[in-house]
Structure 1
Amino acid sequence: MTSETITAAASGTWKLGDLTVNRLGFGAMRLTGSAAFDLGTPSDRERSIGVLRRALELGVNHIDTAAFYFSSLRSANELINRALAPYPDDLVIVTKVGPGRDPSGKWLPWATPEQLRGQVEENLRQLGRDHLDVVNLRLNGPGSLAEHFGALAELRDAGLVRHLGISNVGPAHLAEAQAIAPVVCVQNRYGLETGRADSDEVLRACGEQGIAFVPFFAIAGEAGAFGASSNDGDDGQGSEVLAVARAHGATEAQVRLAWTLHQGPHVLAIPGTGNPDHLVENVAAGALRLSADELARLGSVHDG
């Protein structure tokens, strides 16, 4: 498929609260190095800045990031600030809190509710903003999220955060969070070959409630502690995926992204890459339309 002139607008739009975004966004994790959370191989700074600016030129207005996305020399938030500030009015930056790393890259204990304000303020400082558009609470286990989400709701009431989301959750978590404050998005591991029964259930619940469902594993190629994905890695050789890709003159990564977007109008995609060519391919996937027969064939891969 021709990708050079395709923009993120081809994927359609969805609202995160009152913020309208194109459904094909960008994940910032890969900007910092060749592998997620790898301190030893920092990215080329100017190339990463160029990828971010090119993403906006291609209509991307939804960027997913976190303060703990960094390598020995690169911080995703700092790169975003350097490349894109002063920020366009329509750009929505989504970050997440809960996990944390010390300067050496070692993972810290999960944040307590009282520590979440510090994490929010760290993101504000790095991004150079006076408020965060959306903050996702990343869970670490099956327990209650009430205290942590309640703490974020207080920061929302204080004006530091505009909208709230949750990540790595099950259906009960979504119901628990919704009872505390409105949830505008859910980020779960999800992809053509990585679906889980509880994530399928969450995806459906989000659709029923008008909440965005944002997979963080939409392309094969897991990396790091959070299943980050990118077509910088092995694309896999699934015969059904390959056959559909060939029929459209597309890559397997593009088919996986298109399948993800076909799971509902509320489903967004945030593929990440530090490669400008892959960026163009990822954005172009938003224009790929799959037939009912192709979706059924790919659905057998997901269910299998």
Structure 2
Amino acid sequence: MSTETIITAAASGTWTLGDLTVNRIGFGAMRLPQTGEALVPNAVSRDRDQAVAVLRRAVELGVNHIDTAAFYFSPLRSANELINRALAPYADGLVISTKVGPARNPSGQWVEHARTPEELRGQVEENLRQLGRDHLDLVNLRVLGTDSVAERFGALAELREAGLIRHLGLSNVHPHQVAEARAIAPVVCVQNRYGIGIRPDHDAFVRECGEQGIAYVPFYAIAATGGQGGADGQADEEVLAVARAHGASPAQVRIAWTLHRGPHVLAIPGTGDPDHLAANVAAGALRLTGDELASLDALHARGA
């Protein structure tokens, strides 16, 4: 699949996050502050001008859903600061989603998750300050484990009522936690790790989110088992065969497969490379055949 013809994010179709309409191909900012592995101390900071240029190009290509977090930073770069620098004043229709819960100290080491209402409010306010916003479009509560989310989600619901947050979502969660949160306030999206061969046991959960009108937003869909370190360079023969048939890359096939899981499934591939950005956006136009989907589905069912 050639990317010489400019394909925009509009080719992926749209979904509505509450009252906010976004193209199904978005952009994840995790990899933006550094080169190499993300979310580690002493990462090599990315060139600021390159990062700013990638963000601006993403918007030019029709991306209107950018996923970020205050804990996305390297020694010299912050994803939120880069977004502010590149895109403020923000265009109407641009949706910036962020996450709260995890925390890193200034040296980049992970510290205990925010759990109290005061700690969560502090993280929301930090995102507001870094992004230069008076409210956040979408805040996802990132969860560890299977414990109750009621107190933490309730705290965010209160900030939503106060006007600091427009919509709420959940990340790294299980169905019972979504049900618990929905009893408190509307949930517009679920961000979970998912992709070809990754968590086939979550297939029913993905479908259930669609039935409830909740967007499902996979992360590490390209990286697969590589996680925050990025794609490991290995590609299964089934993925390679589909890629060859379409003149596409394995990464594009992985993105396209996730989008084929349902109209409510969104993609947020991240990169600091302008060529990879264009290819990721172009994957939204890749249409897989029934036979190709069956082959990839069988690979998925076998697990990573």
* TM-score, normalised with respect to structure 2: 0.96
Task: Tell me whether 1:210 sits opposite 2:213 in the alignment.
Answer: yes
Pairwise CA distance, 1:97: 0.2
Of 141, 158, 163, 1:159 maps to 163
Q: Residue 253 of structure 1 aligns to a residue in which SS? A: helix
**One-letter identity of the residue aligned with 1:15:** T
Q: Could you list the runs of 5+ residues in structure 1 that have no partner in the other structure?
A: none
Contact 1:229 1:272 in 2 (8 A): no
Task: Tell me whether 1:42 sits opposite 2:45 in the alignment.
Answer: yes
Contact 1:221 1:235 in 2 (8 A): no
Taking the aligned partners of 1:221 and 1:261, their CA distance within structure 2 comes to 15
- The CA deviation string for residues 120-159 of structure 1, in whole angstroms up to 9 with x for no partner, is 0000000000000000000011100000000000000000
Taking the aligned partners of 2:270 and 2:20, their CA distance within structure 1 comes to 21
Contact 1:222 1:229 in 2 (8 A): no
Q: Residue 183 of structure 1 aligns to a residue in which SS? A: coil
Contact 1:29 1:272 in 2 (8 A): yes
**One-letter identity of the residue aligned with 2:267:** A
- The CA deviation string for residues 236-267 of structure 1, in whole angstroms up to 9 with x for no partner, is 22000000000000000000000000000000
RMSD across aligned C-alpha pairs, in angstroms?
1.1
1:46-125 equivalences under 5 Å are: 46-114=49-117, 115-125=119-129
Pairwise CA distance, 1:106: 1.0
Q: Residue 3 of structure 1 aligns to a residue in which SS? A: coil
Q: Residue 192 of structure 2 corresponds to which residue in structure 1?
A: 188
1:1-304 equivalences under 5 Å are: 1-4=1-4, 5-34=6-35, 35-38=37-40, 39-114=42-117, 115-197=119-201, 199-222=202-225, 227-228=227-228, 230=230, 233-304=231-302
Taking the aligned partners of 1:113 and 1:220, their CA distance within structure 2 comes to 32
> After the TM superposition, which segments of 4 or more aligned residues of structure 1 sit over 6 Å from their partners?
none
Matched residue count? 298
- Residues 252 and 33 of structure 1: CA distance in aligned 2, closer, same or farther (over 3 Å): same
Taking the aligned partners of 1:228 and 1:178, their CA distance within structure 2 comes to 29
Taking the aligned partners of 1:228 and 1:89, their CA distance within structure 2 comes to 31
Contact 1:216 1:229 in 2 (8 A): no
Aligned sequence identity (%)? 69
* TM-score, normalised with respect to structure 1: 0.96
**One-letter identity of the residue aligned with 2:300:** H
Pairwise CA distance, 1:200: 1.8
